[in-house]
A and B are shown apart, each in its own frame.
Chain A
């Protein structure tokens, strides 16, 4: 089995999974409906802005049900995955989910950019926001991929969304007692190491805030965390065994 043939087969199997997943279809359809509603009800700029901040969630949704269920269903104990080839397949799968999210985002961005340029509503800053969104999407894919070693089906995505919901609820419920944090996170500058670390800690759970604050420390910090989770994912895949349950 040549490397090229193996990659083509992995791409075929993963492509079918991504295309036949109802969750992926629903997430994409819901996202498009939301953007359409914002455009119709408000304006192109509001819709475009929502796209730039929310598009990384596509990578997150496409990364649901990555590894756990396939490993434990014994589907990988197949002729196609002998001699440790299941490791390459799983790594390709994680990469393909991220690529599908990023590719869809790029396609939508191209549409928005073309319309914005034609109507003179395109701002150059949108490019920076989109680039930061790609990093956020890659971070989501790495974290969700790593979590899917331990969590069944789509619960790797749900737990991230739940964490974000709890973070929001925490901000709302403790707003009066913790005046400092919310203000510091939304301030024009983040003076001092403590404020920067606080920002990074929050961005580990809600990385989309990096799209708004594209400072060197936030980009480097999120990039470092993405690399860390990608490394953990690669290590878990490389040392994976198809044990009996």
Chain B
């Protein structure tokens, strides 16, 4: 039996009159890469923010079976008054990493992400969007999370960056890490994901293992409004 790492039960969140998430129930399994799919505005980011503690639940509950969580946002933003190395210094301090161990890790992760280490002397806000995304990966990998949540993992990256991140995600899974990827790039997700969760209008409409199902694209169109609209033509 697969071990559940995150178990969410009947999560609900309302913004005024808008019901952003309604009774969302799902599970994330240990050691798997799960694709979190839905149309624009379906509630993907809201669900992520609820489980990460950036938003408060109206009702429902969730439980973690994990020691350390990482999060790479779709468009990472950073304090304009901190340089990248100061950010990493703060991150190391927050997670109790020793200086020498941290420095060795930074070098290897920079190589892995094709991230120029000389950029670490600059404020992250001055980076290109692609490098900001890479730095966000760097900050997260640096703390060696057991569970990494990534919102739009391939956004702002060039083709070689996308390839590098794809390989990195597969490598993390091989090391037993668990990942949750929220994205619209179905073709890329299909190359790396084992599981899927589909959300539509704030409700979870489908969840399952990818190997025993049709393609991710077929599933997406089957369980979203776009699919229903297509069937009309």
CB-CB under 8 A for A74 and B73, given A5-B96, A242-B54: yes
* Nearest CB of chain B from residue A4's CB, rounded to whole Å: 10
Q: Contacts of B70 on A, CB cut-off 8 Å?
A: 79
On whether the beta carbons of B79 and A241 are closer than 8 Å, the reply is: no
Q: How far is the CA of A166 from the CA of B94 in the complex (A)?
A: 46
Q: Contacts of B90 on A, CB cut-off 8 Å?
A: 9, 12-13, 80
B47-64: contact bitstring with A at CB < 8 Å (1 yes, 0 no)? Answer: 001001111100000000
Q: Is A16 an interface residue (CB 8 A)?
A: yes
A66-80: contact bitstring with B at CB < 8 Å (1 yes, 0 no)? Answer: 000010011111111
On whether the beta carbons of B77 and A75 are closer than 8 Å, the reply is: yes
Q: Is B4 an interface residue (CB 8 A)?
A: no
On whether the beta carbons of B71 and A82 are closer than 8 Å, the reply is: yes
Q: Contacts of A1 on B, CB cut-off 8 Å?
A: 94-96
Q: Contacts of B178 on A, CB cut-off 8 Å?
A: none
Give the number of residue pairs across the A-B interface with Cβ within 8 Å: 81
Question: Which residues of A from 73 to 105 have beta carbons under 8 Å from B?
Answer: 73-86
Q: How far is the CA of A108 from the CA of B12 in the complex (A)?
A: 53
Q: Which residue of B lies closest to A242 (CB)?
A: B54
Q: Contacts of A78 on B, CB cut-off 8 Å?
A: 71, 73, 76, 78, 139
On whether the beta carbons of B52 and A83 are closer than 8 Å, the reply is: yes
On whether the beta carbons of B73 and A5 are closer than 8 Å, the reply is: no
* Nearest CB of chain A from residue B17's CB, rounded to whole Å: 15
Q: Is B143 an interface residue (CB 8 A)?
A: yes
On whether the beta carbons of A2 and B96 are closer than 8 Å, the reply is: yes
Contact with A82, one of B55, B69, B78 (Cβ below 8 angstroms) = B69
CB-CB under 8 A for A82 and B53, given A5-B96, A20-B81, A77-B73: yes
Q: Contacts of B86 on A, CB cut-off 8 Å?
A: 12, 16
**B positions within 8 Å CB-CB of A:** 15, 45, 49, 52-56, 69-71, 73, 75-79, 81-82, 86, 89-91, 93-96, 139-140, 143
Listed A/B pairs (16) with beta-carbon separation below 8 Å: A5-B94, A9-B90, A12-B89, A12-B90, A16-B82, A73-B77, A74-B76, A75-B79, A76-B54, A77-B49, A77-B71, A78-B139, A79-B143, A82-B53, A82-B71, A239-B56
**With A12-B93, A84-B53, A241-B56 given, can you name 16 additional A-B contacts, CB distance below 8 Å?**
A5-B96, A9-B90, A9-B93, A16-B82, A20-B81, A70-B79, A74-B77, A77-B54, A77-B71, A77-B76, A82-B54, A82-B69, A84-B54, A239-B56, A243-B15, A244-B45
